[in-house]
Amino acid sequence: MAEVSAQTQAPEGEAKGRFNRFDNPWLNPKLLWGIGILLGIVLLGLIGRMLWNTELVFTGSTPLRLPPVGFENLRGQPGEAAFPLGTDGAGRDLLALLIIGAPNTLMIGAVASLIGMTTGIILGFSAGFIGGRTDDVIRILSDVMITIPPLLILVVFQSVYGDVSLLLMAFLIAGFMWQSPTRLIRAQVLSMRESGYVKMAQLSGASTAHIMFREMLPNLIPYLFGSFIANVTTAIVTAVGLEVLGLGPQRIPTLGRVIYDAINSGALIQNLWWWWGLPTALLAVMFIALLLINLGLDEISNPRLRKI
């Protein structure tokens, strides 16, 4: 397929178009856009912290229920420039909440996914490559774990445990993030194990760890990245799900927590759309960025998807 289209395009500058794209598969617009948006959110957090008063995330630090600049609330109060995105019902500044909350939400997703993936890689390779009893144990464990709905367990755990820190929450979610990568990587490794270069490495006396991580792992990198991003999305959805139920960290702002407070305080009926709307919109942007990255990575690991 790729060859056919390459041939049809050949007359208009074959070398240029074709080789550039093959040389830099990482420079695809979806990936770049996705990364750009995510970086924007991270920068909003980093630069925002320097430029904006982050003390305004605490209860009672601003007037109540002010709308964003240019709008009026139900009482007819106009927005104030000091709180450009408005304030919530407990006296917190929305801009400050987003500046602190968005990177926190992203961080939970990234950390949970990183831990989950790392565990998945180690277990998946061990199961696939070593085989035998190791394979049985890891396979059965991940098969059992994959049937347990994570949100259910986490809701129970967090409601018993009470207030959790961001990192602890990430660790808890990571506990449900390793099963799929383990299974998928194991399957990939099983097929790769029989390939020539692995046999060659074995014959030349390379250690198991060397073969697993130096010979086989590089071939899986685009795939692992894709899997990682998909896991970040799942982890964020799980985290936000818990936060919206009021089970996340209490005093540390996260986007889910802001939405929880809004729901809990009747923001919908009070028409305080900025309170629930802005964090929801930011979450949507975040998910779109992650989706773009995922699509981009998919094109990298699967050349047949590339438009050439």
Partner 1 sequence: MRTGTRLALASALALATAMGPATAQDVPREDTVIFDIDRTIRDPGNFNWFTPGVKRLHGAHQAMWEPLFILNYETGDLEPWLATGADSNDDFSEWTISIREGVEWSDGEAFNADDVVFSVELAMGNEDLTSREAATVRAQVASVTKVDDLTVTFALTAPNPRFVVENFGNRIFGSFLVMPEHLWTGQEAASFAFNPPIGTGPYTFNSAATNRAIWDRNDDWWGAKTGFMDLPAPQRLIWLESGGEENRAQLLASNQMDAGQTVTLGTFEAMRFQNPNIISWKADLPYAWSDPCARQIEFNTTIEPWGSANMRKAVEAIIDRNQIVNVAYEGTTEASRSMFVQYGAMAPFIDAVVDAGYGFTPEGDVAAGQAMIEGEGWAMGSGGFFEKDGQTLSANITVNSASTELTRAVDIIIEQLIRAGIDARAVPVENSVFWGTALPLGEYELAYTWLSCGSVNEPWATMGRYTNESIVPIGERAPGFNNTGRWDTDATAAYTDAVAKLQGLAPGDSAAPALVVDAYQHYFAEVPFIPIVQASKLLPFNTTYWTGWPTEENNYNHPAHWWGHTHQIIHNLEKAN
Nearer to partner 1, 188 or 254 (CB): 254
Tokens of 220: 């899986």
Shortest gap between Cβ of 277 and partner 1 (angstroms)? 8
Nearer to partner 1, 136 or 163 (CB): 163
- For residue 93, list its beta bridge partners: 87
- Out of 163, 167, 195, 208, the residue judged to bind partner 1 by CB under 8 A: 163
- Out of 130, 171, 246, 291, the residue judged to bind partner 1 by CB under 8 A: 246
How distant, in Å, are the alpha carbons of 99, 101, 135, 193, 239 from that of 249? 16, 11, 37, 44, 10
- Out of 143, 264, 288, 302, the residue judged to bind partner 1 by CB under 8 A: 264
Tokens of 236: 């964020």
Helices and strands: H and E segment counts in the chain: 13, 0
Cα(238)–Cα(55) distance, integer angstroms: 28
Site for partner 1 in 54-93 (CB under 8 A): 58-60, 64-65, 74-75, 89-91
Report yes or no: 113 and 178 within 8 Å, Cβ to Cβ: no
Shortest gap between Cβ of 251 and partner 1 (angstroms)? 7
Nearer to partner 1, 37 or 245 (CB): 245
Q: Tell me: does residue 174 bind partner 1 (CB under 8 A).
A: no
Cα(229)–Cα(181) distance, integer angstroms: 12
Site for partner 1 in 99-158 (CB under 8 A): none
Among residues 102, 11, 81, 58, which one has the least CA distance to residue 286? Answer: 102
Q: Which residues bind partner 1 (CB under 8 A)?
A: 58-60, 64-65, 74-75, 89-91, 162-163, 244-246, 250-251, 259, 262-272, 276, 280
